[in-house]
Amino acid sequence: MSLSPAERTRLWRAERQRLGLVKLELWVPPGAKADIQAAARAIITASSRGPALLRNPDPPQGSFQMDHVIDTDWSVKSLAAALTETRLLRDGELTARVLEGSEPVLQITMHEFGDLPIYLSVGAEQIVVSALMWPVDEQKDQAAFNVFLLKAQKLVPLSNFGITTVAGRDYYEIFGELACKTTLQTVIIELRMLAENAIRAADELRETFASAA
């Protein structure tokens, strides 16, 4: 049963009180809005996991600190090295390895999300991170679902949906894009966000579409 706007507001207020949430207002440059929103969401997500944070209680150290801003573009290999060295990650959170080819790709296994594989590539102007979901030909009523997915896209923060071809078969794909010059912290936030959105898309979006059909 759907809730009215007033009922949703009352439930949200009760949940805020239960969790002890507080409201913060920040004035930031327009270009920083997406990073600030992503950082805030990542902090909330991480803090809700509680004990997982106890495995990495020390502040970041070394070459790749939280506020480390680079002057040169990332490459697949430099990102692999940075993810191995950094202490911004929780213990055992992910594993990264370089897949060699005509264009190297970084395969990142997100252990906290059921070993979900995420693929990262670096182009001339941007970093692209993506995760395959399910084959297009397994989706019932593909045309209607594609329209539904485009309408639902705004509900999935900092990620986009597309279709990509792997070994001659089309798959739904979820992806995000970053500038080649960005902080390692932002890359990690994008990886966590993409993994969370991929899991949500595989469960909630397909179920919502099926129930509405």
User: What's the residue count for the chain?
Assistant: 213
Give the model's pLDDT for residue 87: 86
Residues 6+ apart with CB under 8 A from 181: 70, 71, 72, 73, 74
- Find the CATH number of the domain harbouring 196: 3.30.1460.10
Q: Which residue has the higher pLDDT, 44 or 169?
A: 169
Query: How many domains does the chain divide into?
Result: 1
Note down the domain range covering 111. 5-212
Residues 6+ apart with CB under 8 A from 146: none
Digit-coded pLDDT (tens) for 143-171: 998 888 888 777 676 788 999 999 999 99
State how far the Cα of 11 lies from the Cα of 197, in Å rounded to an integer: 24
Q: Which backbone phi and psi does 168 adopt, to 5 degrees?
A: 80, 5
Q: Which residue has the tokens 């395959």?
A: 132
Beta strands in the chain (DSSP E): 94-99, 105-110, 116-122, 126-135, 160-166, 169-179
Give the model's pLDDT for residue 195: 92
